[in-house]
Structure 1
Amino acid sequence: MRRLLNDLKIMLLANFWLIPVIALLVGALFYFVAPPPPMHAKMATGAATGGYHAFAERLRDELAKEGFTLELVESRGSLDNLGKLLAGDVGLALVQSGQELTLSERQRGDLFGLGVMYREPVWLFVRTPVTFQRLSDLADLRLAIGSDGSGTQAVIGALLAANRIEEGAYPENWQRIGGSRAANALIAGELDAAFFLGPAENALIQRLAAEPELRLESLNRTRAYLARLPYLSAMEVGEGMLNMPMDTPAKDIVTLGPVATLVANEDFHSSLTPLILEAARKVLENGSLLDPPDSYPAAPPRSLQTLDEAEYYYNKGLPILQRYLPFRIASLADRYIILAIPLLVLLFPLFKAIGPLYQWRIRARIYRWYKHLREIDLQLYKGEWPDDLDAEIERLEQLESEMGRIEVPLSYSNELYQLHVHLRYMIERLRTAQKRRQA
């Protein structure tokens, strides 16, 4: 056992040079590898009472289970969210589909669609005496079309424009208000009708659906709108879907609406994509009143470029390691495994050379003694005796004594003993030469 430990010690000392080489390669790996993704992000959500904010709160709570902090930033709506993304104030935002079309091509090139989170129906609530067939019928009514910069006003503006009702020609009795302000005015009788945008489960929509003096109207001519506004989709709302006791709506209706899209900018760390999308999937897995379970998230609109990580998620699901490991560990493993491959490629020939280099270094401890023996042998061959044979013999005998302190592995002992034989042989030759000189 002691001999084995000694051999191991000799091997380690002989290959000590490998330590700085491997340390240099590993250091280069950690230097050039991208840093781990941040476990924090900011997300623009819209008003605190809106559907975007409600969804973002659930997403934040789900991400917190993975140790990820999602900071919610309130805004005035989709257009404001886009502005915050382009300004770099946030890395993520919920944006109403179609709003990205208001940007220049260069601006859209700075944004990435992560996925569609859910559909956003347009709800037209009117007071019970009001009759409605087409949007033009609203001209004489006190109507709320959404606040400036909101997604509601953007969609309603597009629907009105399709009817050749341009923004500059809106009746004076139409008001640019939305949300709770419009709902309160409608319930109080200060408005005849109002448009709202958001999920069926939204507290504001549910409040309006419970009001006995309000009626939910169907948006007719949906095919005509979809042909002109392809970023919208038609949604069927069954009788009593919003509120069964109040039978809201009182009959099956059809409405239109955009989709809520999660958008990121260039500051967003792309490796966070599967973490965000998986959290969204868990939030949305049970579906909603209008969306079946496991319908969302879905691939984002084609008007936005998609991150490769998002494409992978929608085609194959989570990366393999993230299916079994916490995100933080799996993310690090993914990055270092990929970069470890070129490191192994470099180390393979290095480790392959260890054997020959080790043999050379061990034998060098023995063979360096042969240099002096060879010089003496050449002198004897030429008949040139060393000047002081006594001193030379004494020197070789001293070398023979020092050889006892040479440490080599057991497998190389035969070469050490051969050196002993050759050294003794040369000493005997010098003594023979000394006798001849004395004679």
Structure 2
Amino acid sequence: MRRILRDLKILILTNLWLVPVIAGLVGALFYFVAPPPPMHARMATGAEGGGYHAFAERLQAELALQGFSLELVPSAGSADNLSKLGSGEVELALVQSGQELTLSDEARDKLSGLGVMYREPLWLFLGNKVKFERLADLLKLRLAIGSPGSGTQAVTAALFAANQIDQPQYPESWQQLGGSRAADALIDGKLDAAFFVGPAENALIQRLAAEPKVHLVSLRRTEAYLARLPYLSQLQVGEGMLNMAHNTPDHKIVTLGPVATLVAGKEFHPSLTPLILEAAKTVLKNGSLLDPAGSYPAKPPLSLNTLSEADYYYDKGLPILQRYLPFRIASLADRYIILAIPLLVLLFPLFKAIGPIYQWRIRARIYRWYKHLREIDQQLYKGQLDSDIGAEIERLEKLEDELARVEVPLSYSNELYELHMHLRYMIERLIAYKRRTTTAAKVG
């Protein structure tokens, strides 16, 4: 056991040169590796109490379980959300599909779609005494078209434009109202009709669905709208789907609606994509009244750029390490593994050189003695030791004592013993040579 430990000690001491080399390479690894993604982001959510804000609160709670802080920033709606993304005020925002088309190509290229979170139906509620067939019938009514800059106003404006009714043609009876203000005015009889955009579970939509003074109507010619406004989708709402107790709607209806898209700005760290999307998937796993379970998140609209991390998530799911490890640990491991590969490529030839270098170093401890033996042998051949032969013999005997203290691994002992033999052989030669020269001197 002692010999094994001694051999191991020799091996370590022989290859100490590897320590600064490996330390330098590992230092370079930590220097060049990309910093971990931030565990904080800001998200524009629309008005408090709206559908966007409700979804953002659920997403915030889910991300908190992973140690990620999502700061919610209220806004005036989709248009305001896009503005906040463009200015860098927030990294994430929910945006109504179609709103991105209002941006310039340059501004849109700075945004990335992470995915569709859910569908946003357009609801048209009317007073019970109001009759409705098509959108043109609304021109003579007191109508709420959504608050300025809201997603509701953006959708209604697109529908009216498809009917060649542009904003300058809007009658004075139309009001730019939305949310609870429009709902209150409709229920109080101050409005004849009002548009709303939001999920079926939204508190405002549920309030109107339970209100006996208003009723929900179906939109006609939906195929014609879809052909002109491809960012919208058609939704069928079955009888009683919104409220079974009040049987709202009282018959099957068809409506249109955009989709709520989660959009990232230029300040968003792409590595956070799988974390955000997986949290959204958990939030949306049970579906909704209109969206089947497991339908969302889905790939974003083609009008937006898509991050490669989002494409990977939709095609293959979470990155392998994030399936088994917390996000923070998996993210760090991903970065170090990428740079560890070239590090291992560099280390492989270094470790491969350990054997030959170790062999050379051990043999060097033995072979350096042969240099002196060679010099003596040459001096004997040239006859240059006559005056100093006794001192040389004494020197070799001291070297023999020193050689006895030289440690080498067991596998190299045979070479050490051969050196002992050669050293003794040279001493015997010198002694014999001294005797001959002494005898020759006496005879002479």
TM-score (normalizing by structure 1):
0.97
Letter in 1 for 2:132: F
Task: List alignment gaps of at least 5 residues for structure 2.
Answer: none
Map 1:26-425; keep pairs closer than 5 Å.
26-385=26-385, 387-425=387-425
Q: Secondary structure at the match of 1:396?
A: helix
Supply the distance in 2 between the matched residues of 1:233 and 1:334 (Cα, whole angstroms).
39
Q: Secondary structure at the match of 2:140?
A: coil
Is the Cα–Cα contact under 8 Å of residues 121 and 199 in structure 1 kept in the other structure? yes
1:339 Cα shift? 2.2
Supply the distance in 2 between the matched residues of 1:115 and 1:26 (Cα, whole angstroms).
38
Supply the distance in 1 between the matched residues of 2:85 and 2:373 (Cα, whole angstroms).
81
Question: Residues 24 and 386 of structure 1: is their aligned pair in 2 closer, same or farther, counting only changes over 3 Å?
Answer: farther
Supply the distance in 2 between the matched residues of 1:106 and 1:319 (Cα, whole angstroms).
31
Is the Cα–Cα contact under 8 Å of residues 274 and 318 in structure 1 kept in the other structure? yes
Letter in 2 for 1:102: T
Letter in 2 for 1:278: E
Question: Residues 383 and 238 of structure 1: is their aligned pair in 2 closer, same or farther, counting only changes over 3 Å?
Answer: same
Q: Secondary structure at the match of 2:376?
A: helix
Q: Secondary structure at the match of 1:139?
A: helix
Supply the distance in 2 between the matched residues of 1:373 and 1:387 (Cα, whole angstroms).
18
C-alpha distance after superposition, 1:220-250 (max 9, x if no partner): 1111110110000010111111111111112
C-alpha distance after superposition, 1:362-397 (max 9, x if no partner): 111111111111112122223332652222222222
Letter in 2 for 1:62: E
Supply the distance in 2 between the matched residues of 1:423 and 1:43 (Cα, whole angstroms).
84
Which stretch of structure 1 is more off in the superposition, 250-259 or 405-414? 405-414
TM-score (normalizing by structure 2):
0.96
Supply the distance in 1 between the matched residues of 2:104 and 2:334 (Cα, whole angstroms).
36
Which stretch of structure 1 is more off in the superposition, 127-136 or 377-386? 377-386
C-alpha distance after superposition, 1:273-324 (max 9, x if no partner): 1111111111111111111111111111011111111111111212222222
Which stretch of structure 1 is more off in the superposition, 112-121 or 367-376? 367-376
Supply the distance in 1 between the matched residues of 2:88 and 2:333 (Cα, whole angstroms).
29
Question: Residues 77 and 387 of structure 1: is their aligned pair in 2 closer, same or farther, counting only changes over 3 Å?
Answer: farther
C-alpha distance after superposition, 1:175-195 (max 9, x if no partner): 112112211222222211111
Q: Secondary structure at the match of 1:201?
A: coil
Supply the distance in 2 between the matched residues of 1:36 and 1:73 (Cα, whole angstroms).
24
Supply the distance in 2 between the matched residues of 1:348 and 1:40 (Cα, whole angstroms).
39
Supply the distance in 2 between the matched residues of 1:100 and 1:311 (Cα, whole angstroms).
20
1:120 Cα shift? 0.3
C-alpha distance after superposition, 1:92-135 (max 9, x if no partner): 11111111111111111111111100000001111111111121
C-alpha distance after superposition, 1:156-207 (max 9, x if no partner): 1111111111112211121112112211222222211111100000001101
C-alpha distance after superposition, 1:133-152 (max 9, x if no partner): 12121112221111111111
Which stretch of structure 1 is more off in the superposition, 385-394 or 278-287? 385-394
Letter in 1 for 2:42: K
Question: Residues 207 and 437 of structure 1: is their aligned pair in 2 closer, same or farther, counting only changes over 3 Å?
Answer: same
Per the alignment, residue 6 of structure 1 pairs with 6
Supply the distance in 1 between the matched residues of 2:377 and 2:91 (Cα, whole angstroms).
81
Supply the distance in 1 between the matched residues of 2:115 and 2:293 (Cα, whole angstroms).
16
Supply the distance in 1 between the matched residues of 2:60 and 2:238 (Cα, whole angstroms).
31
Supply the distance in 2 between the matched residues of 1:363 and 1:38 (Cα, whole angstroms).
55
Is the Cα–Cα contact under 8 Å of residues 240 and 247 in structure 1 kept in the other structure? yes
Supply the distance in 1 between the matched residues of 2:149 and 2:102 (Cα, whole angstroms).
12
Letter in 1 for 2:143: L
Is the Cα–Cα contact under 8 Å of residues 386 and 392 in structure 1 kept in the other structure? no
Which stretch of structure 1 is more off in the superposition, 376-385 or 166-175? 376-385
Which stretch of structure 1 is more off in the superposition, 380-389 or 246-255? 380-389
Letter in 2 for 1:262: L
Supply the distance in 2 between the matched residues of 1:267 and 1:150 (Cα, whole angstroms).
24
Which stretch of structure 1 is more off in the superposition, 109-118 or 163-172? 163-172
1:404 Cα shift? 2.5
Question: Residues 200 and 386 of structure 1: is their aligned pair in 2 closer, same or farther, counting only changes over 3 Å?
Answer: farther
Supply the distance in 2 between the matched residues of 1:386 and 1:73 (Cα, whole angstroms).
101
1:350 Cα shift? 1.2
Task: List alignment gaps of at least 5 residues for structure 1.
Answer: none
CA RMSD of aligned residues (A): 1.4
The number of residues matched between the two structures is 439
Supply the distance in 1 between the matched residues of 2:399 and 2:171 (Cα, whole angstroms).
113
Supply the distance in 2 between the matched residues of 1:217 and 1:413 (Cα, whole angstroms).
100
Letter in 2 for 1:122: L
Q: Secondary structure at the match of 1:95?
A: strand
Supply the distance in 2 between the matched residues of 1:245 and 1:387 (Cα, whole angstroms).
127
Supply the distance in 2 between the matched residues of 1:386 and 1:126 (Cα, whole angstroms).
129
C-alpha distance after superposition, 1:392-422 (max 9, x if no partner): 2222222222222322112112211211111
1:433 Cα shift? 2.7
Supply the distance in 1 between the matched residues of 2:101 and 2:371 (Cα, whole angstroms).
84
